Amino acid sequence: MTNEELKKQFDLNDPYQIAKYIKAVEKSTPVKAYVRGYLRANDLAGYDYYGDPSACIILAEAADIDALLEAKKDAITSIRVECDRRNSAIPLLDLTEVDARIEPGSFIREGAHIHKNAVVMMGAVINIGAVVGEGTMIDMNAVVGARGTIGKNCHIGAGAVVAGVLEPPSKQPVIIEDDVVVGANAAILEGVRIGKGAVVAAGSVVTEDVPAGVVVAGTPAKIVKDKDEKTEEKTELLDDLRG
């Protein structure tokens, strides 16, 4: 059974099911090998390689490259191997199927849900089971943890953390309702729910639920005022950045 077929047997929104999927899935250590030597096409039969066999790039599992090196050690004159993960269970999301703006350098794991016209900026990390609603922006270096849920037309500021929960599985992830603005470097801790239209000031640490339509600030965050016209102006979202 392929990993893709296996994935269909699990609910990747349920922490217990996610854990079972990670345990069951075949782990992968993919590498890119730059190889030079006295090799011919039949020496590389079964390998995914690009270029002439005597000077080529091979994409394969680390164990398969090790086997090739051992079998052809007398024929290979030089090799360089690049590896960016080890025994990885969950690959990155296939972005070709996502109807959103995803900037380079972001990391979105398979099993995350990125909705239409969302924006994910450079350095952002979105884990398995997380949901980013339609028209929501995840700014630079922000983190949305496993199963963290963000509604429509929100802005999650640069460096902010929306805590997800995979372990311990009994904990609830963060839920952010529609039209919420979270300032840069704010942290929303596990189990917190942010009400519709609320504003979280930059650098705040939110440990309790936030009602709709208020502004919170501080560590721990407290309500400082109701959202007013001045706040609306300061937290306006730009449609031109979406879609």
Q: Tens of pLDDT along 200-231?
A: 999 999 999 999 999 999 999 999 998 888 87
User: Can the peptide bond before residue 211 be classed as cis, meaning omega within 30 degrees of 0?
Assistant: no
Q: Cβ distance 28 to 61 under 8 Å?
A: yes
Q: The pTM is what?
A: 0.86
pLDDT 10s digits, 104-152: 999 999 989 999 999 999 999 999 999 999 999 999 999 999 999 999 9
pLDDT 10s digits, 40-89: 999 999 999 999 999 999 999 999 999 999 999 999 999 999 999 999 99
Question: Containing H/E element for 225?
Answer: strand 222-226
Residue 242, pLDDT above cutoff 90 = no
Structure tokens at 44: 């590389």
Helix (H, G, I), strand (E, B) or coil at 111: coil
Phi then psi for residue 79, to 5 deg, are -155, 145
Structure tokens at 155: 């802005």
Q: Cβ distance 136 to 111 under 8 Å?
A: no
Confidence at residue 1, expressed as pLDDT on a 0 to 100 scale: 65
